Amino acid sequence: MRALSVIKSKILIEENIISKCGKLILNSVNPCKTLIVSDRNVAKIYLNIVSRELERLGFQVQAFLINPGEQSKSFEVAEKIYNVLTLNFMSRCDLIISLGGGVVTDLSGFVASTYHRGMKLVHIPTSFLAMIDAAIGGKNGVNSNYGKNLIGTFYHPSLILIDPLALKTLPSRELCCGIAEAIKCGCIWDKELFKILENQNFYNNINEIIIRSIKVKKELAEIDEQDFGSRMLLNFGHTIGHALEKIGCYKKISHGEAVSIGMNEITRISESMNLTRFEVPQRLKTVCKKYFLPTNNNFSRSQLQKAVLHDKKILNGYLNLVLIKDIGKSFIYKISDKEFINFLKNEI
C-alpha cells in the first residue's frame, strides 16, 4: 500500500482497497452514523461492498444516490442531502463518505463542510479525474445558474482511499478525460510523469501515474493553500478550456476534452511567440492523441475571445495565463484583456 498526505488528508492507494475500506476508515473515524453519497452507476457496482464493510464494524450506514452527471452538482441536490442528515439527527461528529467521480466528490465535500459547520469526511474516488484531481486539495463546490463551481469551500477530508482497480469499470471516454489532467500535471511540474504517459503503457504504470499526479497537486497546493500563487499553475489549459465548455454549454465537450484543447491551443500560440521550446507543441499533441483527446477546437476566434474574457479568473482587466517553457516547466504570463486578443490572433 502506498501512503501520502496532502495538507490535512491521508491518502492510501492500493488495488482492491475498496473491499477492505472498513478497517482503514475505522483507523481514522470511530463508528458513527454514516451517509454514503454515490451516483446510481457507481452504486450499482461498489455500494454494497462499502456498506457491508462499514456495518460489519459498527457504523450505522445509509446511502443517498444522485443521478449521474454534472446537473446533480446543484443546490437542490445539496439541500436534499442536508434534509436526510437532519432527519437522521446526524451531527458534526458523524460521517459523510463520497463514493464516485468528481461530481459526487465535489457535492459531498461541500455538504460535509457546511452541515453543522463541518462534519467528518472520507472520499473514495472512483473515476480517474476524481482520484488525481477532484478528491485532492480540499476544493469542493456546487454549480449555480451563473456558472460552474461558483459556490464552494476549502475543506479537507480526513482520509482518501484510492483503488486503481475501480478504473476497470470506468467508461474509456471518462478515463481519457481524467488523463488530460495527468498530462497537465506532467506539463507544468513533472517531466518524468509526462514521459511515462508519452512512452509507457498506461495500465502497467497506473499507480505511478496516480501518485505522481497527486504529488504535483500536493506540492503546488501546499506551497499555496489559497489559490493565488503557485496553485494557479494547475490552471494550465483551463482558461481556454473553461471558455470552450461554456460555449458548448457544458454538453458538447467534457472538461478533460476542453482542457486538452486548451493546453494545445495555448502552447501552439506561446511557441509561435518564442515563449515555449519549439518541440513542445508536437509532443503535447502526440500524447493527447494517444489517449484519444481532441487538440483543436471548432469554435470561432471571436466566440472564444468573448468567452475567455468573461471568465471569472480575470482580475482588474488582467488575465493570468499559464504557459509552459518546456515540459515540466511552467510560468505565469500576466496579460491585459486587450493584449490577450492579440495573443489569440498569433495562432497560425
CA-CA distance, 17 to 57, in Å (whole number)?
16
Contact with ligand ADP (CB under 6 A) among 85, 90, 170, 216: 170
Helix ranges (H only) for 224-313 are 238-247, 255-272, 280-290, 301-309
315 phi and psi, to 5 degrees?
A: -115, 125
Q: Which of 9, 34, 41, 270 binds ligand ADP (CB under 6 A)?
A: 41
Q: How many residues bind ligand ADP (CB under 6 A)?
A: 21
Per-residue mark of binding to ligand ADP, 43-62 (x: CB under 6 A): --x-----------------
For position 241 contacting ligand ADP by CB under 6 A, the verdict is no
User: Which residues, 6+ apart, have CB-to-CB distance to 162 below 8 Å?
Assistant: 11, 12, 13, 14, 17, 125, 131, 135, 210
Asked if 68 touches ligand ADP (CB under 6 A), the answer is: yes
Is position 131 an interface residue for ligand ADP (rule: CB under 6 A)?
A: no
103 binds ligand ADP per the rule CB under 6 A = yes
Nearer to ligand ADP, 177 or 188 (CB): 177
CA distance 314 to 36: 37
Among the residue ranges 27-35, 168-176, 323-331, 340-348, the one whose residues contact ligand ADP (CB under 6 A): 168-176
Out of 6, 10, 39, 285, the residue judged to bind ligand ADP by CB under 6 A: 39
Strand 95-100 to 142-144 pairing: unpaired
Residue of 21, 104, 136, 197 interacting with ligand ADP (CB under 6 A): 104
Using the 8-state DSSP alphabet, how is residue 326 labeled? E
Residues 6 or more apart whose CB falls under 8 angstroms from that of 298 comprise none
Shortest approach of ligand ADP to residue 14 CB, angstroms? 15
Whether residue 42 contacts residue 172, with contact meaning beta carbons closer than 8 Å, is answered with no
The strand pairing partners of 123, in sequence order, are 98, 160
Q: Is 166 in the site for ligand ADP (CB under 6 A)?
A: yes
Interface residue list for ligand ADP (CB under 6 A): 39, 41-42, 45, 68-69, 100-104, 126-127, 129-130, 134, 166, 169-170, 174, 177
